[in-house]
């Protein structure tokens, strides 16, 4: 690759964002903090669900938002028109829904799949960092009942400041315990680099590039022409750490604005604990050349989020003349 990589076509990678920023801002917010990770380049991001007017965290709204993005998340754009007609949208939504596991659950046997977290991470990468998904891995599953192999997502963008391409591999963990979620995420990333999966996913970038622009695909392919990243591509990992947070159960019964203020105050206070968990585990992580973006999101329970996502995904079209679906 020549020194011209900072010009088009690689510069146009950033235009491939499909996630709706307005939808993100309706149900998710961020808390700013002053903590920094040492020994490795990692950014800690504190996100949280917004509260509705009745003081409930907007889990269902988030699940519905993700559902509305399943075509973009699951299917590449090479074989569909833009914009979609209503008939095409209905057909592709049906195709995308079939790619999810749809587990049969009971109170004693809840859903423990990772698909809700994986899709949420896609949404955060596109909405928050502006890094588009470049491989629709869901479409490549040979068995809809299997979970994704390798990383939980492949995203890529052009970094204008550093004049190179940033490649992001996703890792989403939804656990009851935040420390266990962090440990599991870093263990998976360690394995990803040690077992050859990284090289496999490099080839996926070139073979299954999501978009139809031949010039961009050619430029991306050249980044891996030696079977490994060129000198102008940087590897990053984006981690979603979703966890149960008991503070939801002790929030005061006050007006929505006051509730949000109190929640954010407690969340910021707990950021010291989150930082200590993350720093402790990075202190033992050997691959310090890698870069990380770590998204924390607390839930009343992660199971509620999984259940809400499955409910949105499994929604059936109502009979004619019935009330329309609402968010």
| Residue 316 confidence class, pLDDT cut points 50, 70, 90 | low
Angle at 240 between CA 239 and CA 242, to 5 degrees: 145
* Helices H / strands E in the chain, number of each: 10, 7
Total tally of structural domains belonging to the chain? 1
Strand partners, 304: none
Strands 28-31 and 133-135: unpaired
3 located within any domain: no
257 located within any domain: yes
State the residue for tokens 């964002």.
17
Look at residue 81 in the predicted model and tell me its pLDDT: 78
Residue 82's domain spans which residues? 10-313
The DSSP symbol for 149 reads P
323 located within any domain: no
Cβ atoms < 10 Å from Cβ of 148? 16
The share of the chain scoring above pLDDT 70, in percent, equals: 92
Dump pLDDT digits (tens) for 260-296: 999 999 999 999 999 999 999 999 999 999 999 999 9
Instruction: Provide DSSP, 24-62.
Output: HHHHEEEE-------SSEEEEEEEEE-B-TTS-B-HHHH
Cβ atoms < 10 Å from Cβ of 102? 16
55 located within any domain: yes
Cβ atoms < 10 Å from Cβ of 213? 17
**Token couple for 55:** 């003081």
Whether the Cβ atoms of residue 238 and residue 169 lie closer than 8 Å to each other = yes
Look at residue 323 in the predicted model and tell me its pLDDT: 44
4 located within any domain: no
Dump pLDDT digits (tens) for 173-182: 999 999 999 9
29 located within any domain: yes
Whether the Cβ atoms of residue 57 and residue 51 lie closer than 8 Å to each other = yes
Whether the Cβ atoms of residue 13 and residue 165 lie closer than 8 Å to each other = yes
116 located within any domain: yes
324 located within any domain: no
| pTM given for the model | 0.91
């Amino acid at each position: 690759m020549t020194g011209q990589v900072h010009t088009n076509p690689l510069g146009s990678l950033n235009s491939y964002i499909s996630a709706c920023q307005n939808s993100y801002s309706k149900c998710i917010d961020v808390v700013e903090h002053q903590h920094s990770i040492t020994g490795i380049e990692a950014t800690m991001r504190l996100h949280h669900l917004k509260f509705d007017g009745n003081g409930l965290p907007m889990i269902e709204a988030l699940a519905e938002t993700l559902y509305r993005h399943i075509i973009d998340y699951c299917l590449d754009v090479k074989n569909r028109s833009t914009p979609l007609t209503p008939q095409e949208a209905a057909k592709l939504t049906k195709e995308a829904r079939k790619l999810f596991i749809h587990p049969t659950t009971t109170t004693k046997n809840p859903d423990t799949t990772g698909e809700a977290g994986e899709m949420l991470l896609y949404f955060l990468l596109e909405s928050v960092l502006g890094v588009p998904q470049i491989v629709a891995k869901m479409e490549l599953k040979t068995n809809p009942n299997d979970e994704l192999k390798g990383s939980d997502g492949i995203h890529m963008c052009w970094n204008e400041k550093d004049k190179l391409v940033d490649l992001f591999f996703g890792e989403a963990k939804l656990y009851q315990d935040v420390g266990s979620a962090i440990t599991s995420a870093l263990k998976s990333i360690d394995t990803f680099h040690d077992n050859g999966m990284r090289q496999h996913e490099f080839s996926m970038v070139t073979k299954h590039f999501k978009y139809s622009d031949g010039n961009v695909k050619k430029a991306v392919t050249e980044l891996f022409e030696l079977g490994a990243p060129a000198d102008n591509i940087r590897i990053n990992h984006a981690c979603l750490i979703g966890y149960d947070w008991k503070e939801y159960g002790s929030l005061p019964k006050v007006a929505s604005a006051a509730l949000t203020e109190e929640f954010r105050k407690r969340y910021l206070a707990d950021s010291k604990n989150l930082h200590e968990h993350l720093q402790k585990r990075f202190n033992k992580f050997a691959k310090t050349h890698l870069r990380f973006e770590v998204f924390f999101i607390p839930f009343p329970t992660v199971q509620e989020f999984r259940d809400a996502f499955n409910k949105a995904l499994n929604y059936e079209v109502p009979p004619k003349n019935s009330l329309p679906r609402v968010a």
